[in-house]
Structure formats: C-alpha cells, structure tokens
Amino acid sequence: MIYFDNVSKSYPDGTVALNGVTLSVKQGEFVSIVGHSGAGKTTLMKLLLGEDHPTTGSVSFDSVNLKKMKKKDMPELRRRIGVIFQDFRLLPNKTAYENVAFAMEVAGKTDEEIASDVPHVLELVDLTKKMWNFPRQLSGGELQRVAIARAIVNHPDLIIADEPTGNLDPINTYEIVQILKKINDMGTTVILTTHNKGVVEALGKRVITMDHGRIIRDDSTGKYAL
C-alpha cells in the first residue's frame, strides 16, 4: 500500500531530515513510528501526505509515485487519508456533530449521507451524548475523539495519527488507543507517531524506530527501544 524507496530529504539550510529511508506498509497494518524530536517522523508524514517531496528516492501510495501525481489529483489522494493531530484542530464555533459533518461537506457528500454517517461515527467514539456540545464544552479526551470521528467519517484507507495522545492523561490515552485499535480491526491501515512507550507496548503491533533521519529498528513485536 505504502512504499518509501531509498528516500532522503534535505533542506536549503543543510538540514537532513531523512537519510536513505526504505519501508513498506501493507493494507490493514497498524504501525507505530517512534523516535526523539528531530528523528524524521514529521517529515515522513508530510511526504506521505504529498505536502512535500523527497530530495531523492520515491514515495508511493497504491503504486502511484506521489511526486509524479498531478496537483489536481492530490485532493482525491488526501480524501483517502484521515489525519489526527495532537492539537485536535477543531473548528471552535461548530459543535462536535458540525465538525464531523464539515469534513463530509468538503468531500462533497449529500445531506442524507451526512445525517446517516455522522451519528454513527460519533457513536463509535462514544460521543453520542456530546454531539451538540462545542469544543469549549469538551474535555481533552473528548476533543480527540471528535477529531478521530472527523478523520474516519469519509471511510479513508489510511489513518495517520500524529502524537494523538500527547496532550492526554493516562486514562484518556488508553481510550484513544482502544479506538485506534478498533478502527484498525475494521480494516483501516493506521500509522501512529508517538513518544509514549506505554502506548506502543500496549498495542503489541509493529514498531519502526527512527533516529537522525534513519530507520534504526523495525520490530514486529511491539517493543519500544530508544
């Protein structure tokens, strides 16, 4: 599904963000990417989203080289990828329901589809009773669950969760991890970036460890080693 072929990324100031990265992720996998700040995790995600391109090497999504993809085709690619951010990025003047519905509106879904799918995904993340609350009325864990609902409502093939538990306490962290596992069990590929050793080892899934732009470990047994 995803293939990085000998990818390097350098910037004009001389910073080398990625150095000879080769990795593949199969459809339906759950992969955690770990590493200290500056290891290259964020650059890896930007390349996968087509927000940036490698200096050398190639990044492919379903056998399509993203660097060669036409600009007009990028929105279609991004509709196949749901992104969950550490800082939620919800619209403050919209309710939980409206935040999720907005993602469907942008994707061109009908009112009937929105009315059917939004309550369903909010139920999946256990927010049925909070669907008409505004972000300021929700806890950190609830905000992240709205963000997850927004990311999955258009049925993406891939979920990228970028430090989704970074601002959460242990109880909410556990709940978010369980939701991500549930999404993966339904067949969606999940790539998680995290600093949280407990999250990685609780998952027991594949772990890729990065350091200074390189992959230094690729472990199928779910061990956090830094």
Amino acid residing at 8:
S
Average pLDDT, the chain: 94
Helices 96-106 and 140-152: crossing angle, nearest 10°?
20
Portion of the chain with pLDDT greater than 90, in percent: 79
Give Cα separations from 104 to 51, 151, 189 (angstroms).
21, 10, 20
Residue 221 scores a pLDDT above 90: no
Helices 140-152 and 170-185: crossing angle, nearest 10°?
10
Give the pLDDT mean for 10-14. Answer: 93
Amino acid residing at 40:
G
166, β-bridge pairs: none
User: 192: which residues sit within 8 A by CB, 6+ positions away?
Assistant: 30, 31, 32, 33, 161, 164, 180, 199, 203
Give Cα separations from 214 to 7, 43, 187 (angstroms).
10, 12, 29
Mapped onto helix, strand or coil, the DSSP state of residue 196 is coil
Q: What is the pLDDT of residue 65?
A: 93
Residue 38 scores a pLDDT above 90: no
pLDDT tens, position by position, 42-89: 999 999 999 999 999 999 999 999 989 888 888 888 889 999 988 999
Give the pLDDT mean for 102-120. Answer: 96
pLDDT tens, position by position, 58-67: 999 999 999 8
Portion of the chain with pLDDT greater than 70, in percent: 100
Question: Are the C-beta atoms of 53 and 60 separated by less than 8 Å?
Answer: no
| 43 phi, psi to nearest 5 deg | -60, -40
Residue 112 scores a pLDDT above 80: yes
Give the whole-angstrom CA distance, residue 52 versus residue 31: 21
Q: What is the pLDDT of residue 140?
A: 94
Q: What is the pLDDT of residue 222?
A: 79
